[in-house]
C-alpha cells in the first residue's frame, strides 16, 4: 500500500519560542521609543508653558509700569515678598493759569481735554518724589469732585476743597489718577493688587489680588537671592528705569529654569 504524504505542517517548539522572544524584543523597543517620545513632548510642553507664562508676566507688568505717575514708584524687597507700588495714570493734559499761588484754587481749567469723571479721581501736578504722592498732607494731589465741559475743548476740573499746589509744572502738565497698584512676587506667585488708598510707608498688599503667574522664585538658578524689582530714579540725562528680574522654576522638574530680565523706562517729567 502506498502512503500519501502528510499535507499538514506545523511549528516546532523551538520556532515558537524564538518568535515569542523576537516579538518581546520588538515590543520592548517600541514601548521605549513611545515612552521617550512622550517624555520629550511633555518636557517641551512644560518648558513652553513656563516660557509663555514668563513672557505674559513681563509684558503685563511692563505695560502697566509705563503708565506710572512720576514720583509714585517705590519698591520694597523683603525676605519673603518683593513688591513694587505706583499710581497708574488715567489721563493727562495741560492747564491754564496758576495753581501754586495764593489764594488756593478750587478748580483747574484743562485744555485739549476730553475726559469722563469717575468717582475717586485725583488731580496730580508736579509730583517728583514719593513724598509728593504718599506723604500725609501733601497738596501735590487733590481729590476731584466733578468735571464740566466748557467751550473750545476746555473742561473745568472742580476740587473737593481749595488746594494750593506746592509747585507749578514747568510744562503746565497735570495727570488724573484714581487708584494704587502693586505687583508682588512671593516664592511661587506673582500677584497684582489694586486699592483706593496707601500710606507714607509702603504697606503690605491687601488680601486678595489677581495671580498673574506661578512658579516665580526670589532666587536665581545658582541659588543666589535676586531683587525681583529694582528702581533707578530718573536723572537729567535719562528717564527712570525699572528693572524686572523674573526667574521661573518648574515645580515638577526642579532643575528647569527660565529667566527674564527687562528694563522699563517710565515718565521722568511731571
Q: Which residues of 64-74 are buried (b: 16+ CB within 10 A; e: fewer)?
A: ebebbbbbbbb
Domain boundary among 145, 177, 209: 177
Contacts of 122 (CB under 8 A, 6+ apart): 141, 142, 143, 144, 176, 177, 178
93 and 137 both lie in a single domain:
yes
Instruction: Give 186-228 pLDDT, tens digit per residue.
Output: 878 999 999 998 888 888 877 789 999 999 999 998 999 999 9
The predicted model gives 35-53 an average pLDDT of 73
**Is residue 54 assigned to a domain?**
yes
Domain boundary among 177, 210, 237: 177
Instruction: Give 50-97 pLDDT, tens digit per residue.
Output: 889 999 999 999 999 999 999 999 999 988 999 999 999 999 999 999
DSSP element (H, E) containing 248: strand 240-249
253 and 126 both lie in a single domain:
no
> Is 0.85 topped by the overall pTM?
no
78 and 187 both lie in a single domain:
yes
> What pLDDT does residue 256 have?
83
**Is residue 25 assigned to a domain?**
no
Instruction: Give 131-176 pLDDT, tens digit per residue.
Output: 999 998 899 999 999 999 887 778 999 999 999 999 999 999 999 9
144 and 205 both lie in a single domain:
no
Select from 93, 259, 249, 82 the least CA-distant residue to 169.
93
**Is residue 184 assigned to a domain?**
yes
Domain boundary among 142, 177, 212: 177
246 and 186 both lie in a single domain:
yes
**Is residue 74 assigned to a domain?**
yes
Please give the tally of structural domains in the chain: 2
> What pLDDT does residue 2 have?
55
72 and 106 both lie in a single domain:
no
223 and 253 both lie in a single domain:
yes
171 and 192 both lie in a single domain:
no
Instruction: Give 227-245 pLDDT, tens digit per residue.
Output: 999 999 887 778 889 999 9
The answer to whether 237 and 251 have CB atoms below 8 angstroms apart is: no
Instruction: Give phi and psi for 53, each to the nearest 5.
Output: -65, -40
157 and 212 both lie in a single domain:
no
Of the pLDDT bands very low, low, confident and very high (cuts 50, 70, 90), residue 11 is low
67 and 143 both lie in a single domain:
no
**Is residue 36 assigned to a domain?**
no
Q: Which domain range does residue 228 map to?
A: 45-86+179-266
The predicted model gives 245-249 an average pLDDT of 94
Of the pLDDT bands very low, low, confident and very high (cuts 50, 70, 90), residue 3 is low
Which class for 94: exposed (0-12), middle (13-18), buried (19 or more C-beta within 10 A)? middle
The three three-digit cell numbers of residue 1, written as one number: 500500500
The three three-digit cell numbers of residue 144, written as one number: 476731584
> What pLDDT does residue 10 have?
66
**Is residue 139 assigned to a domain?**
yes
End-to-end CA distance of the chain: 121
**Is residue 37 assigned to a domain?**
no
Of the pLDDT bands very low, low, confident and very high (cuts 50, 70, 90), residue 37 is low
> What pLDDT does residue 7 have?
56
**Is residue 58 assigned to a domain?**
yes
Which alpha helices (DSSP H) does the chain contain, by range? 13-65, 130-134
Contacts of 181 (CB under 8 A, 6+ apart): 64, 85, 86, 87, 88, 192, 193, 194
131 and 253 both lie in a single domain:
no
118 and 171 both lie in a single domain:
yes
Of the pLDDT bands very low, low, confident and very high (cuts 50, 70, 90), residue 8 is low
Amino acid at each position: 500500500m502506498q502512503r500519501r504524504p502528510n499535507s499538514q505542517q506545523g511549528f516546532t517548539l523551538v520556532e515558537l519560542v524564538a518568535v515569542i522572544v523576537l516579538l518581546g524584543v520588538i515590543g520592548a523597543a517600541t514601548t521605549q521609543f513611545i515612552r521617550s517620545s512622550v517624555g520629550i513632548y511633555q518636557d517641551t510642553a512644560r518648558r513652553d508653558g513656563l516660557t509663555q507664562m514668563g513672557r505674559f508676566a513681563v509684558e503685563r507688568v511692563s505695560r502697566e509700569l509705563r503708565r506710572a505717575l512720576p514720583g509714585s514708584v517705590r519698591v520694597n524687597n523683603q525676605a519673603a515678598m518683593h513688591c513694587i507700588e505706583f499710581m497708574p495714570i488715567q489721563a493727562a493734559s495741560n492747564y491754564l493759569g496758576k495753581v501754586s499761588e495764593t489764594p488756593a484754587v478750587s478748580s483747574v481749567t484743562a485744555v485739549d481735554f476730553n475726559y469722563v469723571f469717575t468717582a475717586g479721581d485725583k488731580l496730580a501736578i508736579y509730583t517728583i518724589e514719593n513724598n509728593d504722592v504718599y506723604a500725609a498732607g501733601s497738596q501735590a494731589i487733590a481729590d476731584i469732585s466733578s468735571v464740566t465741559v466748557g467751550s473750545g475743548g476746555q473742561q473745568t476740573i472742580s476740587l473737593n476743597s481749595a488746594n494750593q499746589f506746592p509747585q507749578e509744572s514747568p510744562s503746565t502738565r497735570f495727570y488724573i489718577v484714581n487708584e494704587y497698584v502693586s505687583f508682588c512676587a512671593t516664592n511661587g506667585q506673582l500677584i497684582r493688587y489694586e486699592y483706593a488708598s496707601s500710606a507714607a510707608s509702603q504697606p503690605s498688599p491687601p488680601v486678595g489680588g489677581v495671580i498673574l503667574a506661578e512658579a516665580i522664585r526670589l532666587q536665581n538658578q545658582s541659588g543666589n537671592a535676586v531683587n525681583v524689582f529694582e528702581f533707578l530714579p530718573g536723572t537729567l540725562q535719562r528717564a527712570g528705569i525699572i528693572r524686572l528680574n523674573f526667574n521661573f522654576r518648574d515645580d515638577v522638574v526642579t532643575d528647569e529654569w527660565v529667566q527674564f530680565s527687562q528694563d522699563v523706562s517710565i515718565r521722568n517729567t511731571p
